[in-house]
A and B are shown apart, each in its own frame.
Chain A
Amino acid sequence: MSNVPTITIDGKQIEATPGKTILEVARENGIYIPSLCFYEGTKNPGACRVCAVEVDGARSLVAACVMPISPGMVVKTDTERVKQARKLVVELLWSSGDHNCLTCERNGDCELQDLVYRFGIEKPRFDIDPPGYGIEDTNTMIQRDLNKCILCGRCIRACNEIQINEVLDFSLRGSHAKVGPAFDADYINSECVFCGECVNSCPVGALTFKQARFMGRPWELKKVKTTCPYCGVGCQLDLNIHDGKIVKVTGNREYGQPNLGSLCVKGRFGIDFVNHPSRLKTPLIRIDGELREASWDEAIGYAAQKLGDIKKTHGADSVAGLCSARCTNEENYIFQKFMRAVVGTNNVDHCARL
């Protein structure tokens, strides 16, 4: 154990892994340090400064999210100086944007709002002066309102370091800084592949799922964990349900394998087929060349009778069945059981080869 550095946070002795930052060690040990820019799995946050802490021997406050621990380090997270510094950061962020929670999709699920509330800030000391950007409304999937952007850089790191799609970056610097695709293009005109990772990472309402707008407040949504119905990766995701409808799909990093909370465009934005008006709602039987609506009793009765007749006249092997790579294990199992045990043939396959 001699190699394990010991540090002290708020008077508590902690054994920590070398190379970790103060923020990581604190969070692993249940000590609260806020951060609006840290994003698990990405490097070099250090943008928001709300994670300020005092370190003995350092003259100024230190950003916990980038400062690696060193043996014997003594950290204080809760001093008056720290509190004031954090408050100032939050007030500056608030006043430099259009944080109108009344119509924001993230109201009740916003990390900036949470800090304002936690720090008990009635009103910022500074005049509210949003940059006045237009809201990007040029695609059907992701809405961007950069007036709410706090320039935390999470979206950039999520796009570049987690999805490695390498679409987003800061453009310009200083007070004109902006995040987005190269040449200030809209998402739809960029190399963006609409994985939605940036939206999932955004701490505020700058990036939101457009089709979910006004479809349900965060606290009204019921999340149901399930498996993506598209490709063979089998990503785990949350269907967000309101009023019996799927409102949006979110990733959940706590679910772990196989996708660690990330999704692609199909899992993220391709689920709306479920609500499509052309879904089949009733059985159909062809009568005089046309498909007509029928009851389940009629349809199942007719199918059973025809299958039985054909089996009797031409033998079981004159019948075949295709099960499906899109149905569940349970359904495929009983389908093959039906073909083998009830029809009496091994003519059962699916389109796996295609």
Chain B
Amino acid sequence: MAGLAAAFGSGAMTNSIDEIEHTDLILATGTNTTENHPMIGARVKRAVRKNGAKLIVIDPRKIDLVKYATLWLRQKPGTDVAVLNGLMNVIIAEGLHKADYVADRTENFEALAQTVKKYTPEYVEEISGVPADDLRKAARMYAGAKRASLLYAMGITQHITGTDNVKSCANLAMLTGNVGIEGGGVNPLRGQNNVQGACDTGGLPNVFSGYQQVANDEARAKFEKAWNVKLPGKPGLTVVEMTNAAHRGDLKALYIMGENPMLSDPDLHHVEESLKHLELLIVQDIFLNETAELAHIVLPSACFAEKDGTFTNSERRVQRIRKAIEAPGCAKADWEIVAALSTKMGYPMTYGSAKDIMNEINIMTPSYGGIVYDRLDGEGLCWPCPTKDHPGTAFLHKDRFTRGRGLFHAIEYQPPAELPDTEYPYILSTGRVLYHYHTGTMSRKSIGLNERCPESLVEINPSDAQQLAISEGQAVRITSRRGTVSATAKIVETPPPGTVFMNFHFREAAVNLLTNPALDPIGKIPELKVCAVKVEAA
């Protein structure tokens, strides 16, 4: 979430989930909220139906939320920056921005104003297909709301311009004074249950827990002292860079705890080859997933119901999980396994419980300083929570941004890396469905979820289906420059003409055999939302 951090100084959801239900306007872009974050989706729907909030949806797909929307802007995939710049163009041109807020709390407004000048509604219509008048209406509606909450998810980030997209969202919210107020904010909805926590606790190549930079001498010295070792100061490799390094032969060993890159990463052929180059692949998981099948050593772990610990949700709320049952066989909690391995390698880790580890997190991580187990039996605590008497923080950047002043970024629109051509005339977009989760490791083992969604479907717009002579339920073959997969056709109005949509939960139709690994240069997020394919009846 590099984009938000650059603009505000923190990459997390700025406001709390509860505020979404009680705000005046919600702008949802690149989030299929009712399927991917259903209990936030319910909040959005209640805000509209029960509390009279307005809802603007910006999404190429006709998602469920469109039913509740006051206004729906259907942009071409990958044109988000143009649309957001267009909204800001109208807001500035019509003087609807919050000038005092911009003057008092932000910087670099002039550069932004200069850049968005050329993104007139008519110009944006040419790029994005969004009618100029709708764009004007949306801009006025958003700027006119007393409090507006902006929600986004992977539909914004999984592009080569993902960081730019996020920065543009931040621009729009700052321009209208919507950051640092109750009911406002820029709210990235996290896909997996503990993405936020994995980032907070240092599961990133450039930071220790609490986003303390490994390259910062002071931070490193602090951890060196506490851990009693010399620590490397050079930031490490990201997931996709690791795969590439393995492919080149530079990376020899990979230790994977609870992930399945063999289904989640773009360009799976490449991932498989890379993993096969490794001298040592250790996979620690609850199931023998696709990645574990390639491993040299597989370590069985306990699942969430079989251990104690905490997860941090999308709104920075740290909440407990509690051991309810025993793990099967001799499976152990992941922390126990890591500690055992560490001890074996000559660095004893002698934690007696998850709580002991949290005690160390409290000491080493300022924002988690007051988040102790004894305080987590109620509604949990939202960080920053620096001390044991601090109540936690519902919304960030009140009175002052984490980085001081909010920073506007002047951003130009850039088309997606791979656009349709005569050979590959369709856009493939990927995402999740309500009944499954990520690579399906858990959800595909559930009776109920599979009853509702037993196979991978490819969504095709009726007009395309007609042209391709494909009918509902028919097997189709989808081919990109990188591979081919088969799936069953579902003819629906959800995707726009010219775009097909698939989920990535099924190994039988592994959509990431097709997707483009082109990376966002800053966020290092692959462009999973747009690649060019051809579609044929199988």
Q: Which residues of A pack against B, CB within 8 Å?
A: 139-141, 161-164, 188, 193-195, 211, 222, 224-236, 239, 241, 244-246, 255-259, 262-266, 269-274, 276, 278-286, 291, 296, 299-304, 306-308, 310, 314, 316-342, 344-354
* Contact in complex: B236, A258 (CB < 8 Å): no
Q: Which of B39, B206, B442 contacts A258 (CB 8 A)?
A: B39
* Complex partner residue of B342 from A244, A285, A338, CB under 8 angstroms: A338
A-B pairs with the 3 shortest C-beta distances? A281-B329, A234-B313, A328-B309
Query: A245 touching B325 by the CB < 8 A rule?
Result: yes
- Listed by A's residue number, 9 A-B pairs whose Cβ atoms lie within 8 Å are A195-B38, A229-B304, A265-B448, A272-B446, A306-B279, A320-B245, A330-B201, A341-B347, A354-B525
Closest chain A residue to B300, Cβ basis: A280
In angstroms, Cα B201 to Cα A338, docked, is: 13
B residues in contact with A265, CB < 8 Å: 38, 434-435, 448-449, 452
Cβ 8 A contact of A346, one of B195, B235, B340: B235
Contact of B202 among A139, A319, A336 (CB under 8 A): A336
Task: Using CB atoms, name the residue of chain A closest to B440.
Answer: A273
Knowing A336-B209, A348-B236, the reply to whether A284 touches B310 (Cβ < 8 A) is no
CA distance A159 to B522 in the complex (A): 43
A86 to B434 Cα, complex, angstroms: 43
- Minimum CB–CB distance from B2 to chain A (whole Å) comes to 10
Main secondary structure, interface of A, reads mixed
Q: Please indicate the chain B residues that have their CB under 8 angstroms from the CB of A282 in the complex.
A: 300, 329-330
A161 CB to closest chain B CB, in angstroms? 7
| A164 and B314 contacting across the interface, CB-CB below 8 Å | no
Decide if A304 touches B319 in the complex (CB within 8 Å): no
B448 in contact with A341 (CB, 8 Å): no
In this assembly, does B335 line the interface, its C-beta being within 8 Å of a C-beta of chain A? yes
CB distance from A308 to the nearest CB of B (A): 6
In the complex, are the beta carbons of A285 and B347 less than 8 A apart?
no
Contact among B157, B296, B332, B334 with A327 in the assembled complex (CB-CB below 8 Å): B334
Nearest CB of chain B from residue A233's CB, rounded to whole Å: 5
Indicate if B455 sits at the interface (CB-CB under 8 A): no
Q: Taking the complex as formed, is B476 at the interface, i.e. its CB lies under 8 A from any CB of chain A? A: no
Counting CB contacts under 8 A, is B475 at the interface?
Answer: no
A61 to B335, CA, bound (A): 62
A-contact bits for B240-265, CB 8 A (1 contact / 0 none) = 10100100001111111111010011
Residues of B within 8 A of A (CB): 16-18, 36-40, 42, 45-46, 49-50, 68, 157-158, 189-206, 208-209, 214, 223, 227, 229-232, 234-240, 242, 245, 250-259, 261, 264-266, 279-280, 282, 285-288, 292, 295-301, 303-307, 309-315, 317-326, 328-335, 337-342, 344-347, 349, 351, 354, 357-358, 360-361, 378-380, 434-435, 437, 442-443, 445-449, 451-452, 523-526, 528
**B229 contacts across to A, CB distance below 8 A:** 341-342, 344
Contact flag A304-B253 (CB < 8 Å), given A331-B333, A332-B202? no
**Contact residues in A for B235 (Cβ distance below 8 Å):** 346
**A223 → chain B, closest Cβ, in Å?**
9
Given A323-B257, A342-B342, A349-B205; A264-B434 close (CB under 8 Å): yes
A241, B324: Cβ atoms closer than 8 Å: yes
Cβ–Cβ contact B232 & A318, under 8 A: no
Say which residue of A269, A273, A328, A346 sits within 8 Å of B335 (CB atoms): A328
> A350 contacts B38, CB within 8 Å?
no
Q: A97 vs B331: C-alpha distance in the bound complex, in angstroms?
A: 48
CB distance from B277 to the nearest CB of A (A): 12
Q: Check A331–B526 contact: CB distance below 8 A.
A: no
Q: Are B305 and A232 in contact (CB under 8 A)?
A: no
